[in-house]
Amino acid sequence: MSLSTRAQHSAVEAPPGMPSRLDGELLEVSMGPQHPSTHGVFRMNVALEGEVVRRLKPVFGYLHRNHEKIGENTSYLGSMPYTDRLDYICSMSNNWGYALSVEKLAGIEVPERAEYLRVILAELTRLVNHASLLGFLLSDMGAWGTPLMYAFRERENILDLFESLSGSRMMCDYMRFGGCRCDLPPGWMERARKVVDGFPHFLDEFEQLITGNEILIARTQEVGKLSAELAISAGITGPGLRASGVNYDLRKVDGYGFYPRFKFRVPLGEHGDCYDRLMMRVLELRETLGILRQAMDDLPAGPIMNPKVKIRAFKPPVGEAYGRIEAPKGELGFYLISDGSGNPYRYRVRPPSLINLTVLEDMCLGHTVADVMVILGSIDIVMGEVDR
Amino acid sequence: MEALDEIKVRIEAAIPGARLEIIPNPGPANQSSLLLDHAHASTVARFLRDDPALRLDYCSNVTGVDWLERTVKKKVKVKKVVEGEEKELEETREEIFSGYLEAVYHLYSMAHKHGPLVVRLRTRDRAEGAHLPSLTPVWRSAEFQEREIYDLYGIHFDGHPDLRRILMWDEFTDHPMRKDYREPDDYEYEPTPHDDVLEKAKQHYVPRPAQDGTANIAAQ
Amino acid sequence: MASAPPIDEGLRSELQKQGIWVTSMQELYNWGRRNSIWPLQFGLACCAIEMIATAASRYDLARFGGEVFRPSPRQADLMIVAGTVTKKMAPQIVRLYNQMPDPKYVISMGACAISGGPFKQGYNVLKGIDRYIPVDVYIPGCPPRPEALLHAFMELQRKIDGQKLTGTGKAAFLDKTVPSEFPVPAFGAHDLEPPANADVFHPPKIERH
Amino acid sequence: MMIGAGILKGMAVTGRNFIGSYFEKDRLTTVQYPEERDVLPENSRNFPFLVYDTNDPEAGLRCVACKICEKECPPQCIYIEKSADKKPDYMGKPQFYPATFDIDISVCMSCQICVEVCPFEAIKMDKVYELSRRERFDALLMRRTDLAKSNSYYHSIHPLEAEQVDATLAAAAAKKKPAPTPAPPASG
Min Cα–Cα distance to chain A from B166, Å? 6
Quote the mean pLDDT of chain B: 84
Q: In chain B, pLDDT over 70 holds for what percent of residues?
A: 95
CA-closest candidate to residue A168, choices B82, B14, C199, D40: D40
The pLDDT tens digits for C42-52 are 888 888 888 88
| Amino acid letter, A242 | R
Q: Note the pLDDT of residue D1.
A: 57
Q: Residue A282: which CATH number?
A: 1.10.645.10
Q: Does domain D48-172 have CATH number 3.40.50.720?
A: no
* pLDDT tier, B200 (very low <50, low <70, confident <90, very high otherwise): confident
pLDDT of residue C52: 86
Query: For residue A7, what pLDDT is reported?
Result: 44
User: For the structural domain made of C35-164, what CATH number should be given?
Assistant: 3.40.50.12280
3-state secondary structure D53-122: CCCCCCCCECCCCCCHHHHHCCCCCEEEEECCCCEECCCCCEECCEEEEEEECCCCCCCCHHHHHCCCCC
Kindly indicate the confidence band of residue A5, based on its pLDDT and cuts at 50, 70 and 90.
very low
Average pLDDT (A229-233) is 89
Average pLDDT over residues C116-121: 88
CA-nearest of A57, A49, A45 to A16 is: A49
**A98 and A71 in contact (C-beta within 8 Å)?**
no
D24 vs A148: CA distance, rounded Å: 20
Q: Is residue C84 predicted with pLDDT exceeding 60?
A: yes
Cβ distance D76 to B189 less than 8 Å, yes or no, reads: no
Neighbours of chain B (3+ CB pairs under 8 A): A, C, D
**What's the 3-state SS for A252-317?**
HHCCCCCHHHCCCCCCCCCCCCHHHHHHHHHHHHHHHHHHHHHHHHHCCCCCCECCCCCCCCCCCC
> Considering the entire predicted model, what is its pTM?
0.88
Tell me the percentage of chain C whose pLDDT exceeds 90.
17
Cα(A333)–Cα(A354) distance, integer angstroms: 12
Q: Which residues of D touch A167 (CB under 8 A)?
A: 41, 43-45, 112, 125
Position A260 pLDDT exceeds 50: yes
pLDDT number for residue A289: 92
Q: What is the pLDDT of residues C162-188, one digit of tens each?
A: 888 877 777 778 778 888 888 999 998
Q: Is the dihedral of CA A38, A40, A44, A46 positive or negative?
A: positive
Strand arrangement, sheet containing D141-142: D78-82, D98-104, D141-142
Please tell me the predicted confidence (pLDDT) of residue C53. 87
Query: Which tens digits make up the pLDDT trace of A143-174?
Result: 777 888 888 888 888 999 999 998 888 888 89
Q: Which residues of A touch B149 (CB under 8 A)?
A: none
Check pLDDT > 70 for residue A1. no
pLDDT for the residue numbered A11: 39
pLDDT score for A347? 92
What length does chain D have? 188
Kindly list the partner chains of chain C, i.e. chains with 3 or more CB atom pairs below 8 Å.
A, B, D
C41 touching A, CB under 8 A?
A: yes
- The whole-number pLDDT of residue D181 equals 46
CA B216/CA B196 separation, integer angstroms: 19
CB contact under 8 A, C53 and A384: no
What are the b/e assignments for B70-92, b being 16+ CB within 10 Å? eeeeeeeeeeeeeeeeeeeeeee
Minimum CA–CA partner of B117 in chain A = A322
Decide if C127 and B181 are in contact by the 8 Å CB cutoff.
no
Give me the pLDDT at residue A94, please. Answer: 92
Contact B186 C195 (CB under 8 A): yes
Helix (H, G, I), strand (E, B) or coil at B62: strand
Cβ contact, residue pair C138, D31, below 8 Å: no
Distance in Å, alpha carbon of C139 to nearest chain D alpha carbon: 5
Relative to beta strand B70-82, strand D78-82 is unpaired
Tell me the per-residue pLDDT of A16-32, one tens digit each, with 9 for 90 and over: 555 545 566 788 888 87
- A50 in a domain, yes or no? no
Residue ranges in chain D whose pLDDT is less than 70: 1-2, 90, 177-188
Q: Which residues pair with B66 in a beta bridge?
A: B101
Please report how many Cα atoms fall inside a 13 Å half-sphere around the Cα of residue A2, on the Cβ side. Answer: 2
Domain count across chain A? 1
Say whether pLDDT at B92 is over 80: no
| Residue span of the structural domain in which A308 resides | 64-386
Characterize the bridge pairing of strands D98-104 and D78-82: antiparallel
Q: Is residue A41 part of a domain?
A: no
- Out of C111, C115, C152, whose CB is closest to D132? C152
Q: Cα–Cα distance between D85 and A308 in angstroms, integer?
A: 37
Q: Higher-confidence residue: A347 or A8? A: A347
CA A223 to chain centre: 21
Residues 33-52 of chain A with CB under 8 A from chain C are 33-36, 40-41
Q: Which fold has domain B4-67+100-173?
A: Beta Polymerase; domain 2 (3.30.460)
DSSP state of B158: E
| Residue A3 pLDDT greater than 70, yes or no | no
Q: Where are the domains of chain B?
A: 4-67+100-173, 185-220
Mean local confidence (pLDDT), A353-374: 89
- For position A95, what pLDDT does the model report? 92
Lowest-pLDDT range of A42-51, C17-26, C104-113, D73-82: C17-26
**What is the average pLDDT across A58-70?**
89
Asked whether residue A27 is domain-assigned, the answer is no
Pairing of strands B130-133, B114-122: unpaired
Give yes or no for a contact between B117 and B60, defined as CB atoms under 8 angstroms apart. no
For A195-224, the pLDDT digits (tens) are: 999 899 888 888 888 777 888 888 888 888
| pLDDT at position A9 over 60 | no
